[in-house]
Structure 1
Amino acid sequence: MIDIEENPQPIGQLCLQLQAMPRDTNAEGAIYSGWLVSQMDLAAAMLARRATRGRVATVSMDSMAFMVPVNVGDCLSVYGNVTDRGRSSLTIKIEVWKPSHEDEDELCKVTDGSIVLVAIDERGRTRSINP
C-alpha cells in the first residue's frame, strides 16, 4: 500500500501546463509570485468557464504559500477542482505541481489556493449557473 503522505498526488483535473521562462523571473532566476498567481487565476477561469458554460469573473483568492522554489525552466502543471457551487459562483481549489529535481517521475507541490469566480452575462452582470 502506498502512503499518500510519502507520495502526494494532485487533486482535480489538469487545467494548464507551462514552463517558467526568463521573463517570468527575477535576477536570481526565481519566478515572480504574481506571475504564478496570474497563471492560477487563468486555470481557475478556464475550469469555471467550462463548468458554467459562459463568462466568469474572479471575485477573490485566499492566501497561498510557496512550498518549493520555482526556477527558470521548471515545468508547472496547474490542477483545479470545484469545491463549492453557489447560485452564481464557484469556488475552485487550485494546486500547482512540478517534477522533483531528484526524481522527474515524482511530483512536488509548489503552492495551492482557492479562487472564487462568479458567472456573468454579456453585460457583466451576475447570472445564475444552470445545474
Structure 2
Amino acid sequence: MTDPQTPTPEATGDTPEQEGQPRGELATRTLAMPADTNPSGDIFGGWLMSQMDIAGGTAAEWRARGRVATVAVEGMEFHAPVKVGDVVCCYADILKVGKTSMTILIEAWVLRRRDAHHRVKVTEGRYTFVALDEQRNKRPIP
C-alpha cells in the first residue's frame, strides 16, 4: 500500500524503472544549485556530465595510482531531470582495465529534496580514462 503523503514516481515525473540500487561505489555526492540550471529551470546536462567525469576520474586515479585523463564518453542517455535541491550521487564501477586505459560505468542518481529516501537514477555513461605519466604520456596501469 502506498502512503498518501509519499508522492508516486508518476507524480514526480520519475518512472519506476529508474528506481533500484546503484551499481558500483559512491564516488561523489553534491547538491544541485540554481546556478547550474538551463533556461527551462532543470539542471544543465553538461553540469551533470562534469560531475560524472569527476567521479570517474577519482575512481580511475585511485585504480591507476596516479594521473589520468578522460579520453571518451559513450552511451549517455538522460532518464529523468535533475532539479534544484536534489543531491546528486555518482557511482563508479570499473568495467575493464587494459594496459594503459580503463572503462568505468558511471551512474548518476539523485535523492529528491522532498524525500531523501527516494533515490532515482537519472543517467549513466561509460567513461574511458587513460593513465598518464608526469610528461602526460600514456603509461601502464599497475
What's the TM-score once normalised by structure 1's chain length?
0.89
Query: In the aligned structure 2, how far is the partner of 1:24 from the partner of 1:128?
Result: 37
Q: Tell me the equivalent position of 2:75.
A: 63
Q: CA deviation at 1:66?
A: 1.3
Q: CA deviation at 1:25?
A: 0.5
| Matching residue within 93, 96, 108 for 2:108 | 96
Answer yes or no: is 1:75 the counterpart of 2:51. no
Q: Tell me the equivalent position of 1:117.
A: 129
The one-letter code sitting in structure 1 at the alignment partner of 2:55 is A
Q: Structure 2: any 5+ residue segments left out of the alignment?
A: 1-16
Q: CA deviation at 1:63?
A: 2.4
CA offsets 1:7-43 (integer angstroms, 9 cap, x no match): 5100111000001111110233201111111111111
The one-letter code sitting in structure 2 at the alignment partner of 1:129 is I
User: How many percent of aligned residue pairs carry the same amino acid?
Assistant: 44
Paired residues, number: 126
Answer yes or no: is 1:14 the counterpart of 2:26. yes
What's the TM-score once normalised by structure 2's chain length?
0.83
Structure possessing the higher radius of gyration over alpha carbons: 2
Query: In the aligned structure 1, how far is the partner of 2:18 from the partner of 2:137?
Result: 45
- Could you list the structure 1 runs, at least 4 aligned residues long, displaced by more than 6 angstroms after superposition: none
The one-letter code sitting in structure 2 at the alignment partner of 1:9 is Q
